[in-house]
Amino acid sequence: MEVEETRLPGVGLRHDLSTRAGRRVGVVSQVNGDRELVIFDDDDPDLVRTSVRLTSEEGAALADLLGAPRVVERLARLREQVQGLTTAGVVLPEGSPFATGTLGETEIRTRTGASVVAVVRDGEVTPSPTPDFRFAAGDKVVVVGTDDGVAAVRRRLGG
C-alpha cells in the first residue's frame, strides 16, 4: 500500500491511497486546519465522488475510530515478536471490586507491573486510558506485561 502525497499550491496537501479492492480514498488538508475526506469515482479516476468536510476535532475523532483498533492489532503482533511479553483482554465481571472504580484505583501498574493499553466497551476502543478513566462491568481491559503480570491483573480484576 502506498500513500501518495500531492501539493495543492495555496490550499494545502492531498494524501490518497488505493484500497486492495480498487477504491481510491484520500484526505485533503488545508492550510487553515480544515480537513476533507474524499472518495474517488469508480468511472472517472480523477473525480472525487464524495467529499466530507471535517473540522479538526471531527477529523481527530474519525482518525481515532479508524486508528485505535490498529493499536490493539499492533500489540498482538508485538507480542509475537517480543518473547516473554503477553497481551490479554480481561473482561471485567459484574462482581469485580473495580466494576465502577477508576483505572487509578486499581493500581495495576504498581502492583502487577503490567500496563493497561486500551479499554474496549461495546466495540468502542479507548486507547491509552488515563488514571481517571471509570470502568463499567463488561469492559474488556487490554493489558500488556509478563505472563505473571497479566495473570495478576486477571486475579485483581476478578476476571
- Under DSSP, the state recorded for 93 is -
The answer to whether 11 contacts another protein (rule: CB under 8 A) is yes
Nearer Cβ to another protein (43/94): 43
Site pattern 34..63 for another protein (x: CB under 8 A)? --x-x-xx-xxxxxx-xx------------
The answer to whether 18 contacts another protein (rule: CB under 8 A) is no
Report the side by side order of strands in the sheet with 24-30.
4-8, 12-18, 24-30, 35-40, 48-54
Nearer Cβ to another protein (6/100): 6
> Of 129-158, which residues contact another protein (CB under 8 A)?
none
The answer to whether 118 contacts another protein (rule: CB under 8 A) is no
Beta bridge partners of 115: 144
**What three-state secondary structure class fits 134?**
strand
User: Which of 22, 29, 26 has the alpha carbon at shortest distance from 50?
Assistant: 26
Compute CA distances 107 → 37, 98, 115, 129, whole Å: 41, 11, 10, 13
The answer to whether 17 contacts another protein (rule: CB under 8 A) is no
Residues within the interface to another protein (CB under 8 A): 6-11, 14, 16, 26, 28, 30-32, 36, 38, 40-41, 43-48, 50-51
